Amino acid sequence: MEETGVLEGSDNIGYFIEKKLRVWCRQSNGVWVSGTIHSTSGEESFVSLANGNSKAGPILIAVNPFKDVQINGKDIVTTYKQKATDKPHVFAIAENAYNEMMNDGVNQSLMISGESGAGKTETAKFAVQYLAALGGGNVGIECQILQTSCILEAFGNSKTSMNDNSSRFGKFIEIHFTAAGKICGSKIRTFLLEKSRVVQLAAGERSYHIFYQLCAGAPQALRERLNLKMAKEYNYLAQSDCLVINGVDDAQRFLKFMETLDIFQISKGEQDQAFAMLAAVLWLGNISFHAIDYENHVEASNDEALINAARMIGCESHELKEALSARRIQTEEGNIVEKFTMSQAIDTRDALAKFIYASLFDWLVEQINNLLEVGKQHTGWSISILDIYGFESFKKNSFEQFCINYANERLQQHFNRHVFKLEQEEYELDGIDGVKVDFADNQECLDLFEKKPIGLLSLLDEDLHSPDANDATLANKLKQNLNGMACFKGDKGRVFGVRHFAGEVLYNTNDFLKKNQDSLNPELIELLSSCNGQLPQLFAIKMLNQTLEPATSLDSPNQSVSAKFKGKLFKLMQQLEKTKPHFICCIKPNRKQLPGMYEEDLVSQQLRCSGVLEAVRMSRSGYPTRMTHQEFADRYGFLLLETNESPDPLSISVAVLKQFNILPGMYQIGYTKLYLRIGLIGVLEDRRKQVLQTGKYTDEANKGSAFASQLHDGQLTAIIGLQSAIRGCLVRKHFSNSHKLITLRSKRKLVRENSEANDIPNEQSSAMAELQRRVVDAEASLGQKQQENATLQEQLQQYEAKMKKMEEQLQQSEAKMKKTEEQLQQSEAKMKKTEEMLRKQTAPLQASLAAAKKSEGSATAEVGRRENGVSSLVKEFEQQKQSFEDDINKTTQPASNMNSYEELRKLKRRFRAWKKDYKVRLKETTAIVRKHRHQDSDKTRKKWWPNRGKVLQNCGKSPS
Model pLDDT, residue 234: 97
My answer on whether 811 and 913 are in the same domain is: yes
d(CA 821, CA 815): 10
Model pLDDT, residue 527: 95
My answer on whether 735 and 830 are in the same domain is: yes
Exposure of 662 by Cβ count < 10 A (0-12 exposed, 13-18 middle, 19+ buried)?
A: middle
* pLDDT at residue 801 tops 90: no
Model pLDDT, residue 957: 45
- pLDDT (average), residues 856-864: 50
Residue 852 lies inside a defined structural domain of this protein: yes
Phi, psi of 374 (to 5 degrees): -60, -45
Active site residues: 116-117, 121, 163, 166-167, 390, 392
Phi, psi of 297 (to 5 degrees): -80, 145
Confidence bin at 840 (pLDDT 50/70/90): confident
* pLDDT at residue 263 tops 80: yes
Query: Among residues 575, 609, 642, which one ends one of the domains?
Result: 575
CA nearest neighbour of 175 among 166, 167, 184: 184
Residue 581 lies inside a defined structural domain of this protein: no
Residue 468 lies inside a defined structural domain of this protein: yes
pLDDT higher for 941 or 125? 125
Model pLDDT, residue 15: 57
- pLDDT (average), residues 847-851: 64
The least confident of 346-360, 405-419, 810-824 is 810-824
The least confident of 476-485, 512-521, 714-723 is 714-723
Confidence bin at 897 (pLDDT 50/70/90): very low
- Coil, strand, or helix at residue 824? helix
Interval 137-150: pLDDT, tens: 666 777 888 899 99
Taking phi over 0 as left and psi of -120 to 50 as alpha, with beta for the rest, 373 belongs to: alpha
Q: Which residues pair with 157 in a beta bridge?
A: 167
Model pLDDT, residue 942: 47
The CATH number of whichever domain residue 671 belongs to comes to 3.30.70.1590
The least confident of 273-277, 491-495, 718-722 is 718-722
d(CA 679, CA 333): 82
My answer on whether 570 and 462 are in the same domain is: yes
Exposure of 127 by Cβ count < 10 A (0-12 exposed, 13-18 middle, 19+ buried)?
A: buried
Phi, psi of 405 (to 5 degrees): -70, -30
Identify the helix (H) or strand (E) that includes residue 158.
Answer: strand 157-158
The least confident of 56-60, 697-701, 874-878, 923-927 is 697-701
My answer on whether 421 and 500 are in the same domain is: yes
Model pLDDT, residue 532: 92
Determine if the peptide bond prior to 453 is cis (ω within 30°): yes
CA nearest neighbour of 913 among 765, 734, 716, 781: 781
At position 605, the amino acid (one-letter code) is Q
The CATH number of whichever domain residue 496 belongs to comes to 1.20.58.530
d(CA 318, CA 811): 87
Taking phi over 0 as left and psi of -120 to 50 as alpha, with beta for the rest, 166 belongs to: beta
My answer on whether 688 and 726 are in the same domain is: no
CA nearest neighbour of 455 among 502, 497, 488: 488
* pLDDT at residue 836 tops 60: yes
Contact 500, 391 (CB under 8 A): yes
CB atoms within 10 A of CB 563: 19
CB atoms within 10 A of CB 361: 21
Model pLDDT, residue 438: 78
> Residues near 59 by Cβ (< 8 Å), separated by ≥ 6?
419, 583, 584, 585, 612, 615
pLDDT higher for 427 or 20? 427
Annotated binding-site positions: 114-121
Work out the percent of the chain whose per-residue pLDDT is above 70.
70
- pLDDT (average), residues 451-480: 91
* pLDDT at residue 760 tops 50: no
Residue 457 structural domain: 399-518+559-575
Model pLDDT, residue 228: 96
Round to the nearest angstrom and report the end-to-end CA distance of the chain. Answer: 95
Contact 16, 597 (CB under 8 A): yes
Report the chain's mean pLDDT, rounded to a whole number: 79
Over 177-204, what HEC string results? ECCCCCEEEEEEEEECCCHHHHCCCCCC
> Residues near 897 by Cβ (< 8 Å), separated by ≥ 6?
711, 715, 806, 809, 810, 813
Q: What is the largest CA-CA distance in the chain?
A: 156
**Angstrom distances, CA of residue 529 to CA of 173, 319, 533, 538, 807:** 32, 12, 9, 8, 72
Residue 99 lies inside a defined structural domain of this protein: no
d(CA 480, CA 487): 14
The least confident of 347-351, 399-403, 420-424, 530-534 is 420-424
Interval 212-257: pLDDT, tens: 999 999 999 999 999 999 999 999 999 999 999 999 999 999 999 9
Angle at 719 between CA 717 and CA 725, to 5 degrees: 100
Residue 455 lies inside a defined structural domain of this protein: yes
Work out the percent of the chain whose per-residue pLDDT is above 90.
36
My answer on whether 504 and 640 are in the same domain is: no
* pLDDT at residue 490 tops 50: yes
Residue 652 lies inside a defined structural domain of this protein: yes
CA nearest neighbour of 279 among 350, 226, 237: 226
The least confident of 268-282, 601-615, 724-738, 946-960 is 946-960
* pLDDT at residue 950 tops 60: no
Model pLDDT, residue 51: 63
My answer on whether 770 and 865 are in the same domain is: yes
CA nearest neighbour of 144 among 435, 374, 313: 374
Contact 543, 558 (CB under 8 A): no
The least confident of 328-342, 482-496, 659-673 is 328-342
My answer on whether 689 and 724 are in the same domain is: no
pLDDT higher for 809 or 179? 179
* pLDDT at residue 955 tops 70: no
Confidence bin at 781 (pLDDT 50/70/90): confident
Residue 472 lies inside a defined structural domain of this protein: yes
- pLDDT (average), residues 382-390: 90
My answer on whether 688 and 733 are in the same domain is: no
- pLDDT (average), residues 349-372: 95
Interval 33-74: pLDDT, tens: 556 555 444 434 333 444 678 888 788 999 998 887 765 566
d(CA 41, CA 398): 43
Contact 354, 199 (CB under 8 A): yes
According to the per-residue pLDDT averaged within each range, which of 192-196, 310-314, 460-464, 806-810 is highest?
A: 310-314
pLDDT higher for 554 or 266? 266
Annotated binding-site positions for ATP: 114-121
- Coil, strand, or helix at residue 627? strand
My answer on whether 677 and 756 are in the same domain is: no
d(CA 597, CA 618): 30
The helix, strand and coil proportions of the chain, stated in percent and rounded to the nearest 5, come to 60, 15, 30
Please give the radius of gyration of the chain, using alpha carbons only, rounded to the nearest integer. Answer: 45
My answer on whether 686 and 754 are in the same domain is: no
d(CA 132, CA 146): 8
Contact 381, 101 (CB under 8 A): yes
**Angstrom distances, CA of residue 4 to CA of 77, 151, 232:** 22, 32, 37
* Number of domains into which the chain is organized: 3
Taking phi over 0 as left and psi of -120 to 50 as alpha, with beta for the rest, 409 belongs to: alpha
Model pLDDT, residue 930: 67
Residue 212 lies inside a defined structural domain of this protein: no
My answer on whether 571 and 670 are in the same domain is: no
Confidence bin at 504 (pLDDT 50/70/90): very high
